[in-house]
A and B are shown apart, each in its own frame.
Chain A
Amino acid sequence: SAVISQKPSRDICQRGTSLTIQCQVDSQVTMMFWYRQQPGQSLTLIATANQGSEATYESGFVIDKFPISRPNLTFSTLTVSNLSPEDSSIYLCSVDPGTGVGDEQFFGPGTRLTVL
């Protein structure tokens, strides 16, 4: 499986500011995903990040709040903008290292965000 790292591992931010999270993979992957996991909850897909095209956002998530970049096949960033305490969550990237539909997804270690 791919080796996935995220930066930062955790951060405490003031409301109204933004946080950019980086996701790095040790091999080229077509599909990268960003999830949110609120405290004690399940994982919710924010968006799918494809290299060379705009990210595809899930219902309830918008580009202005969660801008995503995917400059190459090994790297992506998620920015959480205009932070509020409700944004306090763990943000995880995942990758699908396969070439077909329905392949496995592997998760990064997550970024724990606390908004004061």
Chain B
Amino acid sequence: GENVEQHPSTLSVQEGDSAVIKCTYSDSASNYFPWYKQELGKRPQLIIDIRSNVGEKKDQRIAVTLNKTAKHFSLHITETQPEDSAVYFCAASSGYALNFGKGTSLLVTP
């Protein structure tokens, strides 16, 4: 089955800096790659996703890039703010089921 690796497990940045989280996947049939943000005690929230026919997608301060050949995708957050502090999960899917990475705990310090 699909195996999704996510790095780093923790990330601390200063407010205003950029944050990058990377994921790799094993199943070449995967074609959908969402990112979720989960604040403490809350449900995971979909923040951005990318499909296999696209190399990059941007939504304001967040962007996702996909390299299908290398089977990796990344989340980029620019101009980080304290409210960006949360756990971020990447996922990959070749059908309906999502396979999640282990998560990255992002801390943005003022």
Size of the chain A interface, CB-CB below 8 angstroms: 23
A108 and B97 within 8 A (CB): no
Binds A, one of B62-70, B72-80, B98-106: B98-106
Complexed CA–CA distance, A42 and B49 (Å): 18
**Complex-state Cα separation, A48 to B95, whole angstroms:** 12
Q: Using a Cβ cutoff of 8 Å, how many contacts connect chains A and B?
A: 53
B44 at the interface (CB under 8 A from A): yes
Complex Cα spacing A110 to B93, Å: 22
Asked if B97 contacts A48 (CB within 8 A), the reply is: yes
Which A residues are CB-close (under 8 A) to B100?
42-44
Residue of B nearest to A6 (CB): B43
Task: Say if the beta carbon of A73 comes within 8 Å of chain B.
Answer: no
Q: Are B43 and A45 in contact (CB under 8 A)?
A: no
Q: Provide the bound-state CA to CA distance between A59 and B46, in Å.
A: 25
In the complex, what residues of A have CB within 8 A of residue B89's CB? 42-43
A residues 1-31 near B (Cβ < 8 Å) are: 1, 31
A-side interface residues toward B, CB under 8 Å? 1, 31, 33, 41-45, 48, 58-59, 92, 96, 101-110
